[in-house]
Amino acid sequence: MMLRRSGLPKVLLAVVLLTAGIILSGCGGAAESKKKAGVTISVTYNGAPVTEGDVRLMMTGKGEGAAGPLNESGQVELQEVVLGKYNVAVTPPEGTSDNPAPQKEYPHIPTKFRNVQASPLQADVKAGTNEFTFELKE
């Protein structure tokens, strides 16, 4: 009796591996191919730097965002922000579980700037250097 070996299992394995490779490279490639740039944002209130707070950027409907705390000069520097148009909010500092933010009023951050969906502030991040200055007014 003579046994015949079918090439079907090898072909099936090759198709599965090829399909998996295409899917995985497509997923990773899409995320890595997004163009990014650095962003510097300055925030003032009545002409003075806002030194306590966080700046949040959110691209509407795209799921892209960035955030960082303001420094003693009223600035935040964000690296590798995906290019595009963002809504911008300035919020009181949140702190962390081991270093909570002080529970106090932040009159230098008017309420209308605290919600990223409702804030009137916007930034259009383009290739190259991006610098934005926001004066918070009542």
Name 56's Cβ contacts closer than 8 Å, sequence gap at least 6.
65, 66, 67, 88, 89, 90, 91, 116
Q: What is the pLDDT of residue 60?
A: 79
Residue 110: predicted pLDDT: 96
pTM of the model: 0.72
* Torsion angle (degrees, nearest 10) of CA 116, 125, 138, 55: 60
Which residue's structure tokens are 């163009």? 35
Please identify which residue in the block is written with the tokens 């090439």.
Answer: 7
Of residues 2 and 68, the one with the higher pLDDT is 68
Do 47 and 136 touch, CB atoms closer than 8 A? Answer: no
Q: Indicate the burial class of 46 (C-beta count within 10 angstroms; 0-12, 13-18, 19 or more).
A: exposed
**pLDDT of 10 higher than 90:** no
Query: With 90 as the cut, is the pLDDT of residue 101 above it?
Result: no
Q: What structural domains does the chain harbor?
A: 36-96+104-136 (2.60.40.1120)
